[in-house]
Amino acid sequence: MLLSGNVVVVDIMIAALKQSWEQRDALNIRKNAHSLVWLSAIAGMLQVESWSPSIDQAFADGLFHFELANFADNIISGWPAAKLHLQQLIDTPAV
């Protein structure tokens, strides 16, 4: 149940990161990236776990950092596959 809830939360956070990025909202990009650090660790998204702190730290100055677009794009575009994998793990009965 804990992991199922995290899937929903990550869905929300990824959507929020995407919206913040599209709006070039540095404050909320940082907030969402910061939140994704611990969620990605729980969800087994190790690359996101490493990219999110970079975004969080860079956006601490309140400015939009377009040079981090690859990190943001990878986080956003990588979630569907990670979500599917996580959902399969959740749905697999314990042995």
Q: Which of 92, 94, 86, 72 is nearest to 39 (CA)?
A: 86
Q: Which of 82, 59, 72, 56 is nearest to 18 (CA)?
A: 72
State what percent of residues in the chain have pLDDT above 70.
Answer: 88
Residue 91 Cα distances to 4, 15, 51, 78, angstroms? 9, 23, 28, 20
Task: Tell me if the pTM is above 0.85.
Answer: no
pLDDT for 48-68, tens place per residue?
777 778 888 899 999 999 998
DSSP helix, strand, coil percent of the chain (3-state; round to 5): 85, 0, 15
